[in-house]
Amino acid sequence: MASAIRATPSASEAANAATATLPPATRHSPLATATATRHSPPATPTPDPYAPLTIDALAAREYGGGLIEIVDTLETTEAFARYLIKYPSDGLTIYGYMNVPHEGDNFPVALVLHGYIDPDEYETVAYTRRYADALAEAGYFVIHPNFRNYPPSDSGPDPFRIGYAADVLNLIAIIRQQSQDPLGTLRRADAEAIHLWGHSMGGGVALRVLTVNPAPYLRAAVVYGSMSGDEAQNYGRIRQWVGSERARFELGASPAMVAAISPSAHLDRIEAAVAVHHSEADDVVPVAWSRQLCEALAGLSAAGEIPHAPECHFYQLQPHTFRGDGDARFIERTIEFFDRQ
């Protein structure tokens, strides 16, 4: 995957750059080269490739632009219609699907964020379908983005999975704007009540979105079997999953920069209510990470630094992606939690 790292130019490259604006007849003359080098201004320092990735930098930049477009109708059920959609995100085209209830208006919005799947095996209507459908049946306007690098979405940079968060932040900004069109695709969506649901990798994306954009219209988030908000913990767990170029880039960040990039160091920015769900038997993502998140949020709430204490639920004998009665209970709790917000 392409990274933002830019190699420092060699001496010969610097000399070539210094003479690039000279007339052709003198460009390669030794005297001209020496003169150009002698009088050239000092080289501009190479920008820090990690600086745009910090929580503060992400919070300072702009998002949105463009529209959510319906590409096709995928399915119609008794309760809702499912549409294939696309929207722009940082110059990329992101695909996904949208579940729109048939009857009613002013539906709260739920963004369902998928976990890691091998991109070669990914399908637009993925394993998260049952959660998205349950939310639509409960009266939520559901949007499920396929993150960048998951076909048919375009490929793009994603160090520390920050590209995925940008895809969600751009989506939120578009929802906010497009829902104001009384004749538009999102006219029945309530952009003042947006909820996040994220599983595994998607849970980590949700945590980043909450710390970057602590807006009152982001009402609540469910993080389910979530990756850590501490990127040092994440890298220690998944380093074998990523390519060498990305690994070198992520390992190149200093501890201070990793902290500046990590949501865990910025949890005091969260304004939304958060519910944490994790299985004690999870052998993919350590349950200890969710316990740490619950303790941190509870401490901040007790100190009056965030408005909501977390709701934390831990399950027995469930895999990383829940099944059976445990999954049904999780879905019920999710809808109850979102409804209360």
Domains in the chain, please, with CATH?
1-47 (no CATH), 51-340 (3.40.50.1820)
pLDDT of residue 48: 92
Alpha-carbon distance of 68 to 70, in angstroms, equals 7
Mean pLDDT of 25-33: 33
The reported pLDDT for the residue numbered 237 is 75
Identify the weakest region by mean pLDDT among 18-22, 59-63, 152-156, 179-183: 18-22
Q: What string of DSSP letters covers 53-79?
A: GSHHHHHHS----S--EEEEEEEE-SS
Cis peptide upstream of residue 286 (ω within 30 degrees of 0): no
The band of 4, judged by pLDDT with boundaries at 50, 70 and 90, is: very low
pLDDT at 1: 37
Looking at residue 15, its pLDDT comes to 32
∠ CA 146-235-213 to the nearest 5 degrees?
50
- pLDDT above 90 for 142: yes
Average pLDDT, whole number, for the chain? Answer: 88
Percent with pLDDT over 70 in the chain: 85
Residue 14 confidence (pLDDT) above 60: no
Q: Between β-strands 107-113 and 189-199, what pairing exists: parallel, antiparallel or unpaired?
A: parallel
Residue type, 156: G
Percent of the chain at pLDDT > 90 equals: 80
Residue 43 has pLDDT above 80, yes or no: no
Looking at the DSSP bridge assignments, the partners of residue 273 are 220
pLDDT class of 86 with cuts at 50, 70, 90: very high
Which of 171, 77, 85 minimizes the C-alpha distance to 130?
77
Prediction pTM value: 0.85
Cite the DSSP H helix spans in 95-200: 129-137, 162-178
**Is 70 exceeded by the pLDDT of residue 240?**
no
Q: What is the pLDDT of residue 277?
A: 98
Within its chain, how far is the Cα of 127 from the centroid?
18
Residue with tokens 């190699």: 7
Q: Residue 261: which H helix or E strand, with range? A: helix 255-261
Any idea of the CA torsion for 64, 67, 73, 74, to the nearest 10 degrees?
Answer: -20
CA distance linking residue 40 with residue 15, whole number of Å: 10
Report the distance separating Cα 80 and Cα 51, nearest Å.
Answer: 43
